[in-house]
Structure formats: structure tokens, C-alpha cells
Chains A and B, each alone.
Chain A
């Protein structure tokens, strides 16, 4: 069965600083990988996704992520964080098949200091 680990429960950065959120997955085949963001009391919004091809994917709001098969990682990055980026971030791995289920990590809460 697939699994996702987000080792950082909470990260604090200053506005304008760079950001990297870690995600490690376990899956026997080539994974479908996603990063979602959730503001308090809201649903989840997709930031970016990786299915195949270029291992560096660009997303919305200036985010990017790099798929590294050798490290089973899909880390999310942003070169300069804005105060509005404060939210919870979830990494997810998708399973092919009729149900197309997603398995989510436990999330990383991002705090941005002024």
C-alpha cells in the first residue's frame, strides 16, 4: 500500500524568505503526486501535480516541486514567501485504477512572519 510522509508538522519562515516543504512517498510503481493547500476552514486547492515527464513542475502562486525518484521525494519550493502563503500544505500520492484514490500526508502548517 502507498504512504506519504511529511516530516515537518510546522514550519515558520519570514516573509520574503525561501521555502521548502518536504514530502516522501512509498509506492511500488511510478506515482502520481500532488500538492494541495488548505486555508483555515476551507477546502483544498491544488497547487501542482506530477504525472510524468519533466521532474520539475510549476504550479500556481509561484510554487514548484521536484520529483526525485531515487529519493522517493516530491518537495515543494517557493523562492520568496508571501504572508498570504500561510496555510496548511498537503502532499498526496495517487493510485491508478478505477477508484483513483489519493493518500495524503499529515500536512505541514506554514506560518509566515512579517
Chain B
């Protein structure tokens, strides 16, 4: 069966510090991968998606970036965090070539102080 992991679960970082959040998927190949941010009391905002290794599409211009160095690994990064980057970050995947549900990871709670 497929599983999705996110690391770390919780992170507290000072403003201006770098960020690296990792998402890995097991049990499938060539998935579509997605990064969402959920601010307190708000819905999910799609940040990035990837349909293959090295292929990244950005939905919202910001100081975040994403990379996909391996088929089942998706990384969210920042060189300098802002207060507004605080939130709950969710990674998701769905199967390639068929339209189906997205499967979500457990999320990372990021607090920028």
C-alpha cells in the first residue's frame, strides 16, 4: 500500500532563517506531487505541484521554492523565512495518468517567530 511521510512534524524558526520541508511517498511510482499551505482558519492554498522529476509548477509567487530530486521526494524550501510563512504545510500525491483523489500527508506545523 501507499504511504506518504512528511518531516518534520513541527518546526519553529526565526524570521530570516532558511527552511527545508521534506515529503516522501512510498508504494507508487511517478506520482503527481503537491504542496499546500493552510493558514489558521483558512482553506488550502496550492503552492507547487510536480508531474515528474525536476518539473515544478508554482501557483503563487512568494519566497518559497520547491524541488523534486527523486521520483517520490518533494522538498519545500526557503532562503529567508517571513512571518507570513507560518502555517500548516501539507504534501499530497495522486496517481499519474488517471484522475483520482489526492492523498495527503500528516502535515508540518511551521511557526515563524
Contact = CB atoms under 8 A, between A and B. Distances in A.
Interface residues of A, number: 24
A28 interface: no
Contact of B49 (A36, A45, A51, A99): A99
Contact of B32 (A51, A100, A107): A100
Contacts of A45: 104
Contacts, number: 50
Contact of A96 (B88, B99, B109): B99
A35 to B, nearest CB: 10
Q: Is the interface of B mostly helix, strand, loop or mixed?
A: strand
Interface stretch (B12-20, B39-47, B61-69, B72-80): B39-47
A54 B97 CA distance: 24
Interface in A58-114: 90, 94, 96, 98-107
B53 interface: no
B105 interface: yes
Contacts of B107: 41-43
B106 A101 contact: no
B106 A42 contact: yes
Nearest 3 Cβ contacts at the A-B interface: A43-B104, A106-B43, A44-B104
